[in-house]
Amino acid sequence: MTLILASTSASRKAMLDAAGIPYVAQAAGVDETALKRDLIGVCPTQVAMVLAEAKALAVSLATPGALVLGGDSLVDVCGRQFDKPTSRDQAAEHLAFFSGKTMALSSAAVLARDGHVVWRTVETAKLRVRPLSPAFIDSYLHSEWPAVAACVGVFRIEARGVQLFEHIEGSHFTVLGMPLLAILGALRNQGVVSA
């Protein structure tokens, strides 16, 4: 059975590659901004789930018979939801806001086939951001920008982004952007991965 990852995320591809899961990556082409406009006031885990489902279903409808994995991650700090930064200046603003606060990072995953959801889950990790000085933020972005432009929390945990945090509670895979252990279980149940 063909597994399609409805994403071009380097982190999600790296997780599947490392786990030895064969797949084909395909961009979902979903207008996330338009979907989010309809989700104002909705809890972050539900927003992540709706976006992951939209991506999985969009690709699933275009590829009959294939099992499609859609995913999405959302960052919430003090009740405010954050998107990927659109500029280095905005990234610096996000990091300054995160400083000394706890970030809730929700990662949702959905499997769909023939336009129907067959499985879904969402996991949330809590990341305590240490106090960040303006000098650190500038130095950090000097080395990490533009790579972190594609990251909703303005960090790559597998790179210098680990320096932002003093405590992390939750799955490392969820922090990377996908609840991988739950996904592997679902793929075993769907016959994609041998049990």
Annotated domain spans of the chain: 3-189
64 forms beta bridges with: none
This prediction's pTM = 0.94
The pLDDT of residue 31 is 92
The pLDDT of residue 42 is 92
Q: Which of 72, 83, 114, 138 is flagged as catalytic?
A: 72
pLDDT (tens place) for every residue of the chain, 195 residues total: 779 999 999 999 999 999 999 999 999 999 988 999 999 889 999 999 999 999 999 999 999 999 999 999 999 999 999 989 999 999 999 999 999 999 999 999 999 999 999 999 999 999 999 999 999 999 999 999 999 999 999 999 999 999 999 999 999 999 999 999 999 999 999 999 888
The pLDDT of residue 82 is 94
**Residue 39 to residues 45, 122, 194: CA-CA distances in angstroms?**
11, 17, 38
The pLDDT of residue 69 is 98
The pLDDT of residue 5 is 98
Q: Find out if CATH 3.90.950.10 is the number for domain 3-189.
A: yes
Contact 109, 70 (CB under 8 A): yes
Summary count for the chain: helices (H), strands (E): 7, 7
Q: How many CB atoms lie within 10 A of CB 104?
A: 18
The per-residue b/e assignment along 55-66, b for 16 or more CB within 10 angstroms, e otherwise, is bbbbbbeebeeb
The pLDDT of residue 94 is 98
Q: Is 72 designated active site? A: yes
> Exposure of 107 by Cβ count < 10 A (0-12 exposed, 13-18 middle, 19+ buried)?
buried
The pLDDT of residue 132 is 98
